[in-house]
C-alpha cells in the first residue's frame, strides 16, 4: 500500500488503455491514492488565506516546496473512502453514496496526486493533467458502460479524415454520445472546449453529442501572500455558450463560486459538482 506514488502511476499508465472503464484501473487508482496519502502524511500543512467567500484552503508543504491550494472541506484524505466507493462501483450500487460524498472522494484522489507532484517535481503540469484524465475518463466509462475513443471519422462528401478529439463515448444508435474534455483548470484556453463542441455539432448535427467537460478547480495561489483566489470569466462563458455552441453540463470537483452563479442567469449555463453526474447521466439527453 505504501508504494512510491510515481511507480504506482507508471503501472497505471502501462495498462490504462486496455479497458478504460475496467476494475483493474480503479484498483490501480486506489494504489496511487494510498501511496500519495502516505507521502502527504509526512508533509506539513500550511494554512492559506482564502479570498473566496465560504471556502477554506490549505497547502501541503515540504522543505521549500508548497503544493497548489487544497479545499479543506472537500479533502478527505482517507484511503478507506476510495475502497468503499470502489466496492460500490463494483456492485453497481451507489445508493448509499450522496453526490457530495462522491465529489469529495474524487476530489481527494485528484488533488492528492497533484500535491504529490507539486512537492516532488518542478513546474510539471502535464503529469497531474494526465492522471486527472485517467481518473475522470475511467469513471465516465464505468458510468456509461462503454469505453471512449479519442478520434472520430469524418466523412463529408469528397472528404474523409480522422479528427482528433477529447474523449468521445458512443452509446449506440438512438442514444446520446458524450463529448468529454477533461482539464485540471481552464483559464482562457476554455474557448477550445466550446470550439470542439461546435465542430461536432457542425459535422454530425446539433444535439448528437452532449458536451460535458469535467474540470478540477480554478484556484490560483499567490505564493508570497499565501492568498487563494479563483480565476473566472463568467461573461466570456456566456458569450461562448450563446455564440459558439451549447455545452450540456460543466462539472467541477471544486465548483468555483462565480461559475456556480451561472445557473441563475438567463439563459443559464449548468455548472455543477461532478458527483451529480453519477445520478443524472441517464437523464442528460432529455
Query: Residue 243 Cβ, how far from a second copy at the closest point, in Å?
Result: 3
The verdict on 231 binding a second copy (CB under 8 A) reads: no
Size of the site for a second copy (CB under 8 A): 27
Which is closer to a second copy, CB of 155 or CB of 286? 155
Alpha helices in the chain (DSSP H): 5-15, 23-41, 79-91, 99-120, 126-144, 191-204, 234-243, 257-260, 277-280
Question: Cell triple for residue 22?
Answer: 475496467
Nearest CB to a second copy, comparing residues 190 and 281: 190
* Other beta carbons within 10 Å of 17: 11
DSSP states of 3-53: --HHHHHHHHHHHGGG-TTSHHHHHHHHHHHHHHHHHHHTSEEEE-EE-ST
C-alpha dist (Å) from residue 67 to 24, 226, 252, 267: 29, 11, 20, 37
Which residues pair with residue 66 across a beta bridge? 61
Give whichever of 81 and 201 is closer to a second copy, judged by the CB atom: 201
Q: Which of 23, 195, 231, 257 binds a second copy (CB under 8 A)?
A: 195
CB of 108 to a second copy, least distance (A): 31
Query: Does 84 interact with a second copy (rule: CB under 8 A)?
Result: no
How does DSSP assign 186-199, residue by residue? -GGGGHHHHHHHHH
Please list every residue from 200 through 219 that binds a second copy, using CB under 8 A. 201-203
Interface positions, 139-178, toward a second copy (CB under 8 A): 154, 156, 159, 161-164
Under the criterion CB under 8 A, does residue 240 sit at the interface with a second copy?
A: yes
Phi, psi of 190 (to 5 degrees): -60, -25
The nearer residue to a second copy, 53 or 159, going by C-beta atoms, is 159
Among 11, 76, 168, 244, contact with a second copy (rule: CB under 8 A): 244
Residue 224 binds to a second copy (criterion: CB under 8 A): no
What is the number of other CB atoms lying within 10 angstroms of the CB of residue 126?
Answer: 10
Residues that bind a second copy (CB under 8 A): 154, 156, 159, 161-164, 188-189, 191-192, 194-196, 198-199, 201-203, 235-236, 238-240, 242-244
Amino acid at each position: 500500500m505504501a508504494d512510491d506514488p510515481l511507480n504506482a502511476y507508471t503501472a497505471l499508465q502501462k495498462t490504462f488503455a486496455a479497458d478504460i472503464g475496467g476494475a483493474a484501473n480503479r484498483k490501480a487508482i486506489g494504489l496511487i491514492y494510498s501511496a500519495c496519502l502516505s507521502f502527504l502524511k509526512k508533509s506539513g500543512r500550511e494554512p492559506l488565506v482564502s479570498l473566496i467567500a465560504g471556502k477554506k484552503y490549505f497547502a501541503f508543504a515540504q522543505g521549500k516546496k508548497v503544493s497548489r491550494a487544497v479545499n479543506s472541506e472537500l479533502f478527505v484524505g482517507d484511503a478507506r473512502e476510495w475502497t468503499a466507493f470502489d466496492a460500490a462501483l463494483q456492485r453497481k450500487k451507489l445508493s448509499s453514496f450522496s453526490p457530495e460524498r462522491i465529489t469529495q472522494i474524487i476530489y481527494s484522489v485528484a488533488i492528492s496526486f497533484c500535491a504529490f507532484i507539486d512537492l516532488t517535481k518542478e513546474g510539471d503540469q502535464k503529469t497531474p493533467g494526465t492522471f486527472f484524465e485517467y481518473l475522470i475518463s475511467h469513471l465516465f466509462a464505468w458510468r456509461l458502460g462503454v469505453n471512449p475513443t479519442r478520434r472520430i471519422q469524418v466523412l463529408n462528401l469528397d472528404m474523409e479524415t480522422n479528427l482528433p478529439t477529447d474523449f468521445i463515448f458512443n452509446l449506440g444508435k438512438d442514444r446520446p454520445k458524450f463529448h468529454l474534455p477533461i482539464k485540471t483548470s481552464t483559464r482562457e484556453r476554455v474557448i477550445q472546449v466550446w470550439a470542439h463542441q461546435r465542430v461536432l455539432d457542425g459535422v454530425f448535427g446539433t444535439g448528437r453529442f452532449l458536451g460535458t467537460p469535467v474540470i478540477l478547480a480554478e484556484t490560483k495561489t499567490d505564493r508570497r501572500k499565501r492568498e487563494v483566489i479563483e480565476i473566472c470569466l463568467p461573461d466570456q462563458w456566456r458569450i461562448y455558450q450563446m455564440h459558439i455552441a451549447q455545452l450540456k453540463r460543466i462539472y467541477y470537483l471544486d465548483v468555483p463560486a462565480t461559475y456556480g452563479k451561472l445557473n441563475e442567469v438567463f439563459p443559464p449555463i449548468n455548472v455543477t459538482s461532478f458527483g451529480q453526474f453519477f445520478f443524472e447521466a441517464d437523464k442528460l439527453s432529455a
